[in-house]
């Protein structure tokens, strides 16, 4: 049993035309037992920056609380929000600080940077960044997610089409993974608005 598979998770983020979407499953389990079906894995840092944390649920929550701490201080001192690229470097540094006793979580970061340019990236539990122009995935369903995203993704999708694509990719992938699923949560961010949607999938 791997510690990363203890709670089960699925995360995906995709880039569209001047927008991005980040989605997660909603299951929280303790190995084979499902304990919650409304578990939050995607968190807001500020209006244009979100982070999803897969892996061990307690580490995901603690990482998020540490990031809120750091971002609040940044905002107070610099009187502005953090850019996504800067935030990704911060997450990477925080994870590497625990190089020999790491947090068992893999973040997926998605945000709108300067000129409303969408930015996504993922990293492993030690902070190795992986920047991508199209999509990033993480969690126990990551292999299925890679396959689904690769086949369904097209560049420069409009928000409505991006929402459809990311939802289908997420639901079809978690159906092949027994540890993630029980519905989906999708967040679609454009320069002018943020839409949150809950997906109903196979509840098993």
Partner 1 sequence: MSRRYDSRTTIFSPEGRLYQVEYAMEAIGNAGSAIGILATDGVVLVGEKKVTSKLLQTSKSTEKMYKIDDHVSCAVAGIMSDANILINTARLQAQRYAYAYQEPIPVEQLVQSLCDTKQGYTQFGGLRPFGVSFLFAGWDRSYGFQLYVSDPSGNYGGWKAAAIGANNQAAQSMLKQDYKEDMTREEAVKLALKVLSKTMDSTSLTADKLELAEICLAPSGEVKYQVCTPEALSTHLVQAGVTQPAAEV
Residues that bind partner 1 (CB under 8 A): 65-66, 68-69, 72-73, 76-77, 79
Half-sphere exposure of 121 (CA within 13 A, CB side): 21
Q: How far is the CB of 62 from partner 1 (least distance, A)?
A: 9
Q: How far is the CB of 129 from partner 1 (least distance, A)?
A: 25
Q: How far is the CB of 75 from partner 1 (least distance, A)?
A: 9
Question: Closer to partner 1 at the Cβ: 67 or 157?
Answer: 67
Question: Closer to partner 1 at the Cβ: 79 or 204?
Answer: 79
Q: How far is the CB of 76 from partner 1 (least distance, A)?
A: 5
Quick one: which of 165, 170, 163 has its CA closest to 184?
Answer: 170
Q: What is the DSSP string of 30-91?
A: ETTEEEESS---EEEEETTEEEEEEE-HHHHHHHHHHHHHHHHHHHHHHSSPPPHHHHHHHH
Question: Closer to partner 1 at the Cβ: 65 or 168?
Answer: 65
Question: Closer to partner 1 at the Cβ: 68 or 203?
Answer: 68
CA 12, CA 54: separation in Å to the nearest integer?
Answer: 10
Q: Retrieve residue 77's tokens.
A: 């001192």
């Amino acid at each position: 049993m791997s510690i990363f598979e203890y709670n089960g998770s699925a995360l995906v983020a995709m880039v569209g035309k001047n927008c991005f979407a980040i989605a997660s499953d909603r299951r929280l389990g303790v190995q084979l037992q499902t304990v919650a079906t409304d578990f939050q894995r995607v968190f807001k840092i500020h209006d244009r920056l979100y982070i999803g944390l897969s892996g061990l649920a307690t580490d995901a929550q603690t990482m998020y609380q540490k990031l809120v701490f750091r971002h609040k201080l940044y905002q107070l001192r610099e009187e502005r929000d953090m850019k996504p690229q800067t935030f990704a470097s911060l997450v990477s540094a925080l994870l590497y600080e625990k190089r020999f006793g790491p947090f068992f979580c893999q973040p997926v970061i998605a945000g709108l940077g300067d000129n409303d340019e969408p930015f996504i990236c993922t990293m492993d539990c030690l902070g190795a960044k992986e920047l991508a122009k199209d999509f990033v995935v993480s969690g126990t369903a990551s292999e299925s997610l890679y396959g689904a995203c690769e086949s369904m993704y097209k560049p420069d999708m409009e928000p409505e089409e991006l929402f459809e694509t990311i939802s289908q990719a997420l639901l079809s992938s978690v159906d092949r993974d027994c540890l993630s699923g029980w519905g989906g949560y999708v967040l679609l961010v454009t320069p002018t608005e943020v839409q949150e949607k809950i997906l109903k999938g196979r509840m098993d």
